[in-house]
Structure 1
Amino acid sequence: MSAAPRTLVVWVPDWPIVALSRGEEPIDTSSPVAIFAKGVVVACSAAARAEGVRRGQRRRDAQARCPQLEVVMDDPVRDHRVFAPVVAAVEGAAPGVQVIHPGLLTLRAKGPARFYGGEAAAATVLVGAVAGEGVDDVRVAVADGAFTAEQAARVATRAGDPLRIVPAGQAAAFLAPLPIAVLDDDTVSLFARLGVQTLGAVAALGPDRLAERFGARGARLHALASGQDPRAVQARTPPPELHREVAFEPPVTLADQIAFGLRVPAEEFTGRLGEQGLVCTELRVVLTGENGDRSERVWRHPDAFDAAAIVDRVRWQLAEQGAAGTRGVRGAAGAATGGAARTAGLRSAVTMVRIEPEGVDAAAHHTARLFGSGPEERVHHALSRVQAMLGHQGVLTPGVGGGRWLAERQQLVPWGDAAARGAPAAPWPGSLAGPLPPTVFAEALPVAVLDADGDMVAVDGRGELTAEPVWITLASPPSSPSSSSSSGGAARRRAIRRWAGPWPLLERGWDPVRARRAHRFQIVDAEQAAWLLVCEEGIWHAEGVYD
């Protein structure tokens, strides 16, 4: 069998943790942090490892070893997005990169070794390229085949010694003492039961015996264990550079200056997308301050961004930041006339603005209509023009969000933005199932529910009614189709024809101050009005009415 090609591997240990510290909402990874996928640890910080947390542990085992462990859910999209600048930096030093997964990439060693004067020199250059992206711990190894190079980077390097070169022809000797667990294959447990504990022992079994027992998988495992990894590096085709960056030297604090400097790059940004047959529907804006602080936000557009809309979003982000800063601005309109670009997240003058597409769509889906603009397009353009004049919060649209109470599900969000709270489909234990009342009272409408003797009906500790509800008294009936026959604002008693409930609604039972315990009912009165009632601590009110 021919020797495996010389391969160079760049590995960043615990990349999901590194990405977590460099994301939109950075987390202090110097404390115990673990990232979980399907209830199992997939990465953890050094502080968590010091407490006994390991990859592969279940959540309860990890928290038993480290009660103060901060739990974070796995986010592959975040890992890939944050790793993209690192890949670009490596490609700038040595093209032909294959990304195995975020934090690990390979490339052929022959070209970089010739260009930089040797494998060690090439590896040193790549370490510097990754370190230039702010990554403190990066390991690089060169060996025969990607598998051997990866194992060399993982087991034969450390923070103070990040390079390892396995000489040509020495891959089998290097791999022989390694445990079979590095194969990361389902057959590992079977090898262990057979007494095969190292890669050298797997290689000693011979390719024929492994192929006879495991087929093509056995032949592949023998090739890996013996240092004959046949896989060639599949270099990726770098995607077109769609982002744009504007650097300010010296740093600036006025939004007018930033917006003026961004106009041409914004036009180039949309033009480059147009060359690819794309439009931007979600835009990521990253502002960097002279002290290393930054502000990052994703903006959405109801249709597609043009250059003017991009500049507007940067202005609005500066305005929102300036409102929280030490110098302040006069709202969005104030920022548009030269407000200071300072925020709680960005506390210094701006040195760089980066715009990049977070979401794109085919340009064919956003072409103008053949016979003029329809009503929807006219509404969109009108609202966009008003929003450009008044600022991001100047035009609000109603939306439905998540929540248990009907009033809190009603939201007003800026034109083009998604709902701020959790999605309505998210689990909200105790929330009301559809159909929902068309009319929801902004303020609770007091009512009384009485039994046949005129006494107040309540819900006992077991969640059962103390008596059969017979009458409903409205303290101040609303003006609605269901109450058009009501006289003035006087209280009026109505007979209850049908009712259903109670359905418990419990919130924050662990918090004695903010805890709420209530029960919902649906009733139909004698005038065929359907009500959604709530009984909380013996007090009744109407939450909505089914018109």
Structure 2
Amino acid sequence: MPPERVVTLHLVDWPREDPRAGSAAARGADPEEAPPDFAPVFAKLTDLVPAIEELRPGLVAMRARGPVRYYGGERAVAEALLEFARAEGLGHARVGIADGRFAAELAASADPDPVDGIRIVEPGGGAAFLSELPVAWATDEKLGQLLPGLGIYTLGAFAALPEDAVRARFGPAGVLAHRHARGEDGERGEPVRAQQAARDFALSLDFEPPIAGTEQLTFACSSLVERFIGALTEERLVCTSLRVTLTDDIGIRHERDWAHPRFFSPQDALARLRWQSESLVAGFTGAEERAGAGIATVRIAPVRTDRIASHEPGLWTSGPDERVHHHLSRAQGLLGPGGVGTVSLDGGRLLLERQRFTHWGSAPKRDRAPGPWPGALSAPLPTLVFSPPLRARLLDEAGSVVGVDAEDLLAATPYALRVEGHRSPGAVRGWSKPWPIREHWWDGRPERFRLQLELDTGDSWLLLARVRPGESDGATATWFAEGKYD
């Protein structure tokens, strides 16, 4: 059976992410400078093509068969979408058409930009189109960093590998990326899932007088949240991302987008509203600069919805996962939003920079690009990371601190290591060549050097040295213990 043809519309000028999505509140933000809401645009697109899916704000996908029949061809569909973007003043737009949603998405976003904004990949030509694109476009962060190190830089080179070898080396995630590289959409395919316009479900509630207390506001909004989730359920939809807007009595909006790894229940949505309001209470009651007497208006709207059938439990149910989510959510209700969460790795050079804490019930948010990060530590990573790094002294045989010279080499032979809080770690048995981390030198940030060190006790340490610009002899280098290997 031939793969399904998919059309994607990419609004190039649309902000990739809401810059306030991860902040506690947008205090004092100018409403005219707030990131645009994609929901009205999505609603108008559903009038043009009823069955579309929002992949992210500014990027939508749709099955090609219906629109092609209506408009009389794939190019006619693309021209209609571009005309819509021009009429709505949405800036530069591209349309991609290909076999499967993955190839169609890249057809609309890959460089170079088509002259007329339309790139149509002929049926069966998806693999040839993808072959010259960077391999990181089809892989996750870890695989995207590993493959170039093995000499595999393009999707074509990755697609040429045997699937059995990819499965054995990289597992299911590698197999999915490998099939994407071949122009396929996985074993079960990734069909376009039609969504309804999110703006139809937005609800708001006004308060007179304004409410300053978190518990009072939460209680007053309980029926609003119930009606919000109930309206979605009646349409056989669930909300996977919602926007809560709290407007105080002097007209300042405090807005935040909340994402959920599954979908929001009334209790989940009400908890997000409570957490958001908690960050504002201090401003109403104890701040030196008055920020309003309380919340005058609450508005809740879905940012992303999905069909409820896509989230039904499987044949063997998902009971254990639901119980875990239930108990952790209850603990979070007692401890607050930061009391329960998960930790993941992000992009960055230092170990602490790479750690990302995600509140339980929220979707992970990546703040840093996956890489490459020159100077970053490759596997194996230390099993113990110190937060903050511990002060240390790397000494030579005469008892002087070892520095880093102008050639980025140790100025003396390491003999002993002293680490704050650790009693005589031991004598040095072996060490790596120091490697530099130079960034923001224009701001006067000191040079930093990393060093892996092994002691005669068998312990291994990851050290970090800071050397001020101009200290070419490195005599006054300051050492820290960044991590320890077991």
Q: Confirm or deny that 1:385 pairs with 2:330.
A: yes
How far, CA to CA, are the matches of 1:407 and 1:499 in structure 2?
22
Tell me if 1:407 matches 2:352. yes
Amino acid at match of 2:210: V
Alignment counterpart, residue 301 of structure 2, candidates 351, 356, 368: 356
Distance 1:529 1:258, change over 3 A: closer
Alignment of 1:122-141 (within 5 A): none
Distance 1:245 1:251 in 2: 19
Whether 1:439 and 2:372 are equivalent positions in the alignment is no
Matched, 1:322 2:267: no
Change (3 A) 1:352 1:371: same
2:460 is the alignment partner of 1:521: no
Structure 1 residues 381, 369: closer, same or farther in 2, change over 3 A? farther
- In the alignment, structure 1 residue 297 sits paired with structure 2 residue 256: yes
- Aligned counterpart, 1:307: 266
Instruction: Give the structure 2 partner of residue 461 of structure 1.
Output: 406
Once residues 83 and 355 of structure 2 are traced to their aligned partners in structure 1, the CA distance between those partners, rounded to angstroms, is 57
SS in 2 for 1:265: helix
- In structure 2, the partner of 1:532 is 462
Match of 1:253 in 2: 211
Distance 1:516 1:148 in 2: 52
Matched residue, 1:500: 432
Give yes or no for contact 1:280–1:360 (8 Å, CA) kept in 2: yes
Aligned-pair CA distance for 1:303: 3.2
Residues 79 and 260 (structure 1), Cα distance of their counterparts in 2 relative to 1, 3 Å cut? closer
Give the CA deviation at 1:286.
1.3
User: Over residues 323-366 of structure 1, what are the superposed CA-to-partner deviations in whole Å (9 max), with x where a residue is unaligned?
Assistant: 2x13259xxxxxxxxxxxx998x735434322122233443454
Task: Report the secondary structure of 1:528's partner residue.
Answer: coil
- Render the CA deviation track for 1:363-387: whole Å, top value 9, x for unaligned: 3454457777644332211111122
Shift of residue 435, structure 1, vs aligned partner: 2.5
Q: Distance in 2 between matches of 1:400 and 1:301?
A: 19
Match of 1:170 in 2: none
Q: 1:79 to 1:148 in 2, by over 3 A?
A: closer
Residue 280 in 1 paired to residue 242 in 2? no
* 1:469-480 mapped onto 2 (5 Å cutoff): 469=414, 471-475=415-419, 478=422
Query: For the residues of structure 2 that align with 1:264 and 1:516, how far apart are their CA atoms?
Result: 55
Over 3 Å counting, the alpha-carbon distance change for 1:328 and 1:359 in structure 2 is: farther
SS at structure 2 position matched to 1:393: coil
Pair 1:376–1:252, CA change in 2 (3 A): same
| 2:201 corresponds to | 243
Following the alignment from structure 1 to structure 2, what is the Cα–Cα distance between the partners of residues 442 and 415?
22
- Contact 2:201 2:232 survives alignment (8 Å): no
Bigger Rg, structure 1 or 2: 1
Q: Which residue of the partner structure matches residue 339 of structure 1?
A: none
Moved more, 380-389 or 266-275: 266-275
- Does 1:511 find its partner at 2:469? no
Q: Distance in 2 between the 1:477 and 1:315 partners?
A: 41
Please tell me whether the aligned partners of residues 350 and 376 of structure 2 are also in contact (alpha carbons under 8 angstroms): yes
User: Contact (CA 8 Å) 1:387, 1:394: kept in 2 or not?
Assistant: yes
Instruction: Quote the offset at 1:289 in angstroms.
Output: 3.3
In 1: Cα distance, 2:385 partner to 2:399 partner: 28
User: Is the Cα contact below 8 Å between 2:284 and 2:294 reproduced in 1?
Assistant: no
What amino acid is the match of 1:288?
Answer: T
In structure 2, the CA distance between the partners of 1:422 and 1:494, relative to structure 1 (3 Å rule), is same
Are 1:545 and 2:477 matched, yes or no? Answer: no
Distance 1:251 1:149 in 2: 44
- The one-letter amino acid of 1:415's match is W
- Aligned partners of 2:82 and 2:482: how far apart in 1? 63
Residue 531 of structure 1 aligns to a residue in which SS?
Answer: strand
| Cα pair distance change 1:16/1:368, threshold 3 Å | closer
For the structure 1 residues 146 and 503, does the alpha-carbon distance in structure 2 shift closer, same or farther, using more than 3 Å as the test?
A: closer
- Give secondary structure in 1 for the equivalent of 2:262: coil
Is contact 1:320-1:343 (8 Å) kept?
no
Indicate yes or no: 2:210 matched with 1:269.
Answer: no
Q: Shift of the alpha carbon at 1:294?
A: 1.0
Would you say the 8 A contact 1:383–1:395 is kept in 2?
A: yes
Percent of aligned pairs with the same amino acid: 34
Check conservation: 1:520, 1:534, Cα contact below 8 A: yes
Residue 269 of structure 2 aligns to a residue whose secondary structure is helix
Change (3 A) 1:492 1:352: closer
Q: Provide the rounded CA distance (Å) in 2 between the counterparts of 1:149 and 1:381.
A: 44
How far apart are residue 295 of structure 1 and its match?
Answer: 1.2
**2:431 corresponds to which letter in structure 1?**
W
SS at match of 2:227: helix
Please give the alpha-carbon distance, in whole angstroms, between the structure 2 residues aligned to 1:28 and 1:521.
Answer: 49
Change (3 A) 1:501 1:79: farther
Figure out how many residues of one structure are paired with residues of the other and give that number: 329
2: CA distance, partners of 1:274 / 1:250? 30
Q: Look up the equivalent residue of 2:247 and give its one-letter code.
A: T
Letter paired with 1:314: L
The change in CA–CA distance for 1:398 and 1:277 in structure 2 (over 3 A counts) is same
2:355 equivalent to 1:416 = no
Measured against aligned partners, the alpha-carbon deviations of 1:378-401 in whole angstroms (never above 9, x if no partner) come to 221111112223432343444444
Q: Secondary structure at the match of 2:370?
A: coil
- Report the CA distance between 1:495 and its aligned residue: 3.8
Q: CA deviation at 1:315?
A: 1.8
After superposing the two structures, state which structure 1 stretch, 245-254 or 519-528, moved more.
245-254
Written as runs of structure 1 = structure 2, the 5 A alignment for 1:107-122 is: none
Instruction: Tell me which residue corresponds to 1:8.
Output: none
Say if 1:427 and 1:348 are closer, same or farther in 2 by CA, change over 3 A: farther
The 1:443–1:364 alpha-carbon spacing in structure 2 relative to 1, beyond 3 Å, is: same
Q: What residue number does 1:231 align with?
A: none
- In structure 2, do the counterparts of structure 1 residues 301 and 239 end up closer, same or farther at CA, with 3 Å as the change threshold? closer
**Counterparts of 1:146 and 1:303, CA distance in 2:** 31
Which deviates more, 366-375 or 422-431?
366-375
Structure 1 runs not aligned, ≥5 long? 1-14, 31-71, 104-144, 155-183, 187-236, 330-341, 479-488
**How does the TM-score come out when normalised to structure 2?**
0.54
Q: Aligned partner of 1:494: which letter?
A: A
